[in-house]
Amino acid sequence: MDTAHSLEDRRAHLRATLHERGMRMTPQRQLVLDALLVLEHATPEQVCAHVQRATPTVNITTIYRTLELLEGLALVRHTHLGHGAPTYSVHEHQHVHLVCHRCGHVVESPKAVMDQLCGTLRATHGFELDASHLALSGTCQTCSQETP
């Protein structure tokens, strides 16, 4: 399946999900979702810059409100990859982020790497960890091999 086809399929799925929840796909919602589909992970400011290339009149307040609404509908999720602004992605994008606190490099790992920890937390504490979109801080392989 080519990228354009899968992108259109994802757009249609998101449109249908909004419709099922009694919402309509406004131009602003479409622009924000399209930006996230293209960028995959983006801060509100990055989404705004992407959207403004096509529609310069959309402001950052609209982006924040739209992201908040879409997150409330579970269409997008946010993760804090560091000390800056949250990073948003389309909800179906589920993985663990491994963030190097030295160089800032981010590696995506399947959420299955957290299965054992999730089981341990459930058995020991009755706690259900949401590991579907998580960021873990540490040192990447390259930085670990460098002398400080």
DSSP calls for 16-55: HHHHHTT----HHHHHHHHHHHHHSSB-HHHHHHHHHHH-
Query: pLDDT tens for residues 50-66?
Result: 999 989 999 999 999 99
Q: Is 118 annotated as a binding residue?
A: no
Q: Is 48 annotated as a binding residue?
A: no
Q: Record the pTM.
A: 0.73
Please report the domains of the chain, with CATH numbers, ordered by start residue.
Answer: 3-90 (1.10.10.10), 95-145 (3.30.1490.190)
Structural contact between residues 46 and 39, judged by C-beta atoms closer than 8 angstroms: yes
Query: pLDDT tens for residues 72-123?
Result: 888 888 888 877 788 888 856 678 888 888 888 888 888 889 999 999 999 9
